[in-house]
Amino acid sequence: MTSTCLRPEQRTKLDVTADRLFYDQPRFVTHVDTGFLDRLTRLYQERLPANGRILDLMSSWVSHLPDDVSYASVEGHGMNEAELKRNPRLDHFFVQDLNQNPELPLDNNSFDAVINTVSVQYLQYPEAIFSEIHRVLKPGGVAIVSFSNRMFFQKAIQAWRDGDEDGRVKLVSSYFASVEKEGKLGFSTPEAIAESSSAPAIFQLFGLATADPFYAVIAQKQGES
């Protein structure tokens, strides 16, 4: 069971063409800076269980997992097969448009962690996806959703485009809170990490703080399988 977070108009995108066309050509680039990615990898090192099963949802050619940690398996999902094939951390992957079909072809209670990196802004039906994240996580499993202030503006939903950075943290937290099971919240109270630009102080003094801010919202699956 899920509650609704968004009104119909908040789910809309400026570019209404099929997402598969937009993502048809591979993009072998990172969409945030190295400071953001280094912080993300440290977070994964701290929060993801070694030897656990990891689902990298809305992945690409790199997963930003720590190089010195081994996992039982890493399952990848994305929109571009060439990108996923290039990703050295993925043991398996599948291609699927979650805005057309939010049901994940994965077993219940099968992952120790689900990660989503700088992609949550493109989900038109996040309540359904977060319900699926809950379903595939093991009890006690962790979900980490990270993002910055960058986006493909034409493909981000209206609720994301219109919000400020604090509002986006609250929005992702509401996605977790929308999931219920047997009348109880499916996830723990979300934990938010918000870190502004990490540019050197001298850069900030002269208005040159161009480093990407780092945001992550983290929650654990509650209850039994």
Per-residue pLDDT of the chain (225 residues; tens, 9 = 90+): 567 899 999 999 999 998 888 878 777 567 788 889 999 999 999 999 999 999 999 999 999 999 999 999 999 999 999 999 999 999 999 999 999 999 999 999 999 999 999 999 999 999 999 999 999 999 999 999 999 988 888 999 999 999 998 999 999 999 999 999 878 899 999 999 999 765 554 444 444 556 889 999 999 999 764
109: left (phi over 0), alpha (psi -120 to 50) or beta: left
pLDDT at residue number 209: 54
Q: What is the pTM of this model?
A: 0.91
pLDDT at 205: 43
Q: Residues 142, 218: contact at Cβ < 8 Å?
A: yes
* pLDDT of the residue at 81: 95
What is the rounded radius of gyration, in angstroms, for the C-alpha atoms of the chain? 17
Write out the H or E segment, with its range, that includes residue 194: strand 191-195
Q: Is the dihedral of CA 92, 97, 99, 103 positive or negative?
A: negative
Predicted local distance difference test score (pLDDT) of residue 28: 54
Identify the architecture of domain 8-220 in CATH. Answer: 3-Layer(aba) Sandwich (3.40)
Query: For position 167, what pLDDT does the model report?
Result: 94
Contact 30, 88 (CB under 8 A): no
Backbone angles phi, psi at 75, to 5 degrees: -95, 130
169 vs 156: CA distance, rounded Å: 15
CA distance 192 to 165: 12
Chain centroid offset of residue 155 CA: 15
Q: Are 213 and 197 in contact (CB under 8 A)?
A: yes
CB 28 within 8 A of CB 61: yes
How confident is the model at residue 206, as a pLDDT? 45
Q: How far apart are CA 217 and CA 131, in angstroms?
A: 16
